[in-house]
């Protein structure tokens, strides 16, 4: 007897490459059949067979308030009745930009786009146009979307599929992409020295989320900021995951480091497809129509997406206690898993910052992609499937961070900790 998910997956493969519209959903890393979802509410998703799951993905981050959060869904419905797309400016776009500026430090101007990939691609183009240089540095395991320039040692999805060289990405593009190990300031400094006066930008996830959750070691981001100041390099923070999740002002506020440009996504869409990039006026004024660096998008500033994002951000701004509650819940999960794994005498590392957390079955600290790849990811796959059977939905890859939502309650965390305990006591 086949499950509805198995039937749907078989059907999907006849019309969709690999049966999915984003590769990590295919469960290639963990094995088995992907779970097809039908609905979601609060902290829970329900699959095509009617089984409910506690959700630790939350659409890869944006559902910080929980699924189908009533004020957000109502705002979407009401706005849709006024028209779904104009291809012309609206007042709501201004209000969204003003709200982002009021929450995020060091952002003078904001350009809305339709995805995190588009935001990062545009920010890099802007940095190149502003500096007149072509090369940029990214970090092994950091993922900035699937634009050609970013797919060199990109972690997450490409790591899941063991793709080291991506077909379709030209040698010329790759030559301008320099990579360093995350959390290694000495290697970065040497890389800059070897490419003196050729580097337009350094782009980084200030808290990595695509090799599991990996926070920066003390002094690392401060060192990068100082290096960029010294060498005239544009520092880009990819806050597609961390923006408005770690704090009202994202990682810049949480970690006390200012970037020159920042990219956003996830939370600012309230669950709809949205991205944005912003930063210092001195740099942003080079974007067309103010400047000659071209960037455009028919659906940029789409009114439905703007309303979903604006409503979500306004709730977060007006209710700062949400971040405190998320910290308490995340800390409770962290401590519970720590107790379970310690008792099981299984080598492990739990990395967490705010409501981003991941478990690595490793004997040594996990501070970069090589450390994450060296962990016992076969054990993670077994752990994943056990919890999935127990109605707990983790990211289907050891190279992805977990995201908590404000809709979770203590009983959900207790159920998760108990399931982990039973997995290790078998």
Structure tokens at 196: 């003196």
What token pair was written down for 190? 């040497």
Peptide bond into 86 cis (omega under 30): no
H helices, E strands: number in the chain = 15, 14
Q: What is the dihedral of CA 50, 51, 54, 57, to 10 degrees?
A: -70
Name 289's Cβ contacts closer than 8 Å, sequence gap at least 6: none
Structure-block tokens of residue 163? 């793709």
**Sign, Cα dihedral of 418, 419, 423, 426:** positive
35 membership: H or E segment, kind and range: none
Q: Smallest Cα–Cα separation from 60: which of 194, 233, 182, 240?
A: 240
Catalytic residue among 143, 264, 310, 393: 143
Q: Which of 133, 135, 266, 280 is catalytic?
A: 266
The residue written with tokens 């159920």 in the block is 415
Sheet containing 135-139, strands listed edge to edge, beginning at the edge strand earlier in sequence: 109-113, 275-279, 261-264, 234-238, 199-204, 135-139, 177-180
- Cis omega (within 30 of 0) on the bond before 289? yes
Hey, is 260 helix, strand or coil?
Answer: coil
Cross-strand partners of 276: 112, 264
As given in the structure block, the two tokens for residue 364 are 């040594």
Which are the contacts of 118, defined by CB distance < 8 A and separation ≥ 6? 145, 275, 297
Q: Nearest-CA neighbor of 359 among 390, 323, 322, 395?
A: 395
* pTM listed for this prediction: 0.93
Instruction: Decide: residue 214, CB within 10 A, 0-12 exposed, 13-18 middle, 19+ buried.
Output: buried
Please give the Cα distance from 36 to 9 (Å, whole number): 8
Active-site residue (options: 238, 260, 371, 412): 238
- Spans of all domains in the chain: 4-68+320-424, 70-318
Phi/psi at 13 (nearest 5 deg)? Answer: -65, -15
Question: Which fold would CATH assign to domain 4-68+320-424?
Answer: 3.90.1150
Question: With 0-12 CB in 10 A as exposed, 13-18 as middle and 19+ as buried, what is 408?
Answer: buried
Rg of the chain in Å (alpha carbons): 21
- pLDDT digits (tens), the chain, 426 positions: 799 999 999 999 999 999 999 888 889 889 999 999 999 999 999 999 999 999 999 999 999 999 999 999 999 999 999 999 999 999 999 999 999 999 999 999 999 999 999 999 999 999 999 999 999 999 999 999 988 888 775 444 544 444 445 677 777 777 889 999 999 999 999 999 999 999 999 999 999 999 999 999 999 999 999 999 999 999 999 999 999 999 999 999 999 999 999 999 999 999 999 999 999 999 999 999 999 999 999 999 999 999 999 999 999 999 999 999 999 999 999 999 999 999 999 999 999 999 999 999 999 999 999 999 999 999 999 999 999 999 999 999 999 999 999 999 999 999 999 999 999 998
**Catalytic residue check, 143:** yes
Catalytic, 148? Answer no
CB distance 129 to 291 below 8 Å: yes
Q: Are the C-beta atoms of residues 243 and 252 closer than 8 Å to each other? A: no
Element (H, E) at 7: helix 4-12
For domain 70-318, the question of CATH label 3.90.1150.10 is answered with no
Q: Which of 350, 353, 358, 348 is nearest to 395 (CA)?
A: 358
Is 280 noted as a catalytic residue in this protein? no
3-state secondary structure of 199: strand
């Amino acid at each position: 007897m086949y499950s509805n998910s198995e039937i749907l997956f078989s059907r999907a493969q006849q019309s969709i490459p690999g049966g999915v519209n984003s590769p990590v959903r295919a469960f290639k890393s963990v094995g088995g059949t992907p779970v097809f979802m039908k609905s979601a509410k609060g902290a829970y998703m329900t699959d095509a067979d009617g089984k409910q799951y506690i959700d630790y993905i939350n659409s890869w981050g944006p559902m910080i308030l929980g699924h189908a959060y009533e004020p957000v869904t109502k705002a979407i419905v009401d706005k849709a009745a006024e028209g779904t797309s104009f291809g012309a400016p609206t007042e709501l776009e201004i209000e969204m930009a003003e709200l982002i500026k009021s929450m995020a430090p060091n952002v003078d101007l904001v350009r809305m786009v339709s995805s995190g990939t588009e935001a990062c691609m545009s920010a890099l183009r802007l940095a190149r146009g502003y500096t007149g240089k072509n090369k940029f540095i990214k970090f092994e395991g950091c993922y900035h979307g699937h634009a050609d320039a970013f797919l060199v040692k990109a972690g997450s999805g490409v790591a899941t599929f063991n793709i080291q060289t991506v077909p379709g990405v030209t040698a010329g593009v790759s030559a301008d992409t320099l990579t360093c190990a995350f959390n290694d300031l000495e290697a970065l400094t040497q890389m800059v020295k070897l490419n003196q006066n050729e580097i337009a930008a350094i782009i980084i996830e200030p808290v990595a989320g695509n090799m599991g959750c990996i926070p920066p070691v003390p002094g690392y981001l401060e060192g990068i900021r100082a290096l960029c100041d010294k060498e005239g390099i544009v520092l880009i923070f990819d806050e597609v995951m961390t923006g408005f999740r770690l704090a009202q002002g994202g990682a810049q506020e949480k970690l006390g480091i200012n970037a020159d440009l920042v990219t956003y996504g996830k939370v600012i869409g309230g669950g709809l497809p949205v991205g944005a990039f912003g930063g210092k006026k001195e740099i942003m004024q080079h974007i067309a129509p103010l400047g000659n660096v071209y960037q455009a998008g028919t659906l940029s500033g789409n009114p439905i997406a703007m309303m979903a994002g604006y409503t979500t951000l306004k709730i977060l701004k007006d209710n700062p206690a949400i971040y405190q509650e998320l910290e308490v819940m995340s800390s409770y999960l962290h401590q519970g898993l720590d107790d379970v794994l310690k008792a099981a005498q299984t080598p492990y590392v739990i990395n967490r910052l705010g409501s981003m957390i991941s478990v690595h079955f490793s004997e040594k600290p996990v501070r970069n992609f090589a450390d994450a790849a060296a962990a016992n990811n076969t054990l993670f796959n077994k752990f994943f499937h056990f919890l999935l059977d127990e109605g707990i939905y983790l990211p289907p890859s050891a190279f992805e961070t977990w995201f908590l939502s404000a809709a979770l309650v203590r009983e959900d965390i207790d159920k998760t900790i108990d399931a982990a305990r039973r997995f290790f006591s078998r």
